Amino acid sequence: MIDDSKLYDLFQTALIAAQSAGKLIKHSSHNILHIDKKGRVNLVTEVDRRSEELIISIIHDSFPEHRILAEETDEIVGNSPYRWIIDPLDGTTNFVHGFPVYAVSIAVEFNGKIIIGVVFDPNRNELFSAIEDTGAFLNNKRLNVSQNKALSDSLTATGFPYETGTAFEINMKIFKSVYEVSQGIRRAGSAALDLCYVAAGRFDGFWEFGLNPWDVAAGALIVKEAGGTVTCFRGNQFQTDKASEIIATNGRIHNELLQIINTNRRINL
């Protein structure tokens, strides 16, 4: 059990870290000095690394004993029941190309359960946040998922894995099947923001393969706290450490989208 003052301190630290990193990213967007490749199209910049260093520094100033799982550095382990899960720049490829869809994502886990999620979009100054069992918010305004009950009335989103292969081919089949029965699909390139847009009712559903915990830990909580549903592709409870696949919806179209996904997966198994 976490007392309210502790929870408040954790939440404030997450907010400060996300906004501070977002400010750094925005100020660096026209001055990217070095770009590396972690794969054929998986990019990382010095801005990713500087953002992550700043976030970790802010966390450790207040909670030096806490564990940290972040995208660009080795996991910081220990005996603390708290673990911070960080994506310092979700949407790096967009950032590199000047496409303004990227964000900072920070989640706090306690004894294996996500209790805080914060996603900050520095381009739009949109701060999405949630604390377990208290609702989800955008800049202090409560969020609620959409009311659409059918995929035929829905706008959905997805992302593509970095590497081509079987998962990519399956996703293209799913993409085609969803496109044929929905009002459209968007592929913006930031899973963290896609999830927040489901929470805000901008998207009715989202699915993706090939993810990591830091891509979705914060956003998944924000969707749930906005009244949405988040599962793996089998329809089971979503687990952060098994976050390679996710489907998040307003809840009303969940089974319909899930059926399309699994019909196409079975064809390819």
CATH class of 4-142: alpha beta
- Residues of the chain short of pLDDT 70, as ranges, are 31-44, 163-165, 243, 267-269
C-beta separation of 105 from 89 below 8 A: no
* CATH number for region 151-268: 3.40.190.80
State the Cα–Cα distance between residues 3 and 22, nearest whole angstrom: 29
Residue 41: per-residue pLDDT? 46
C-beta separation of 102 from 22 below 8 A: no
Q: Strand pairing partners for 206?
A: 157, 248
Q: Structural domain boundaries of the chain?
A: 4-142, 151-268
CB atoms within 10 A of CB 50: 17
Residue 132: per-residue pLDDT? 97
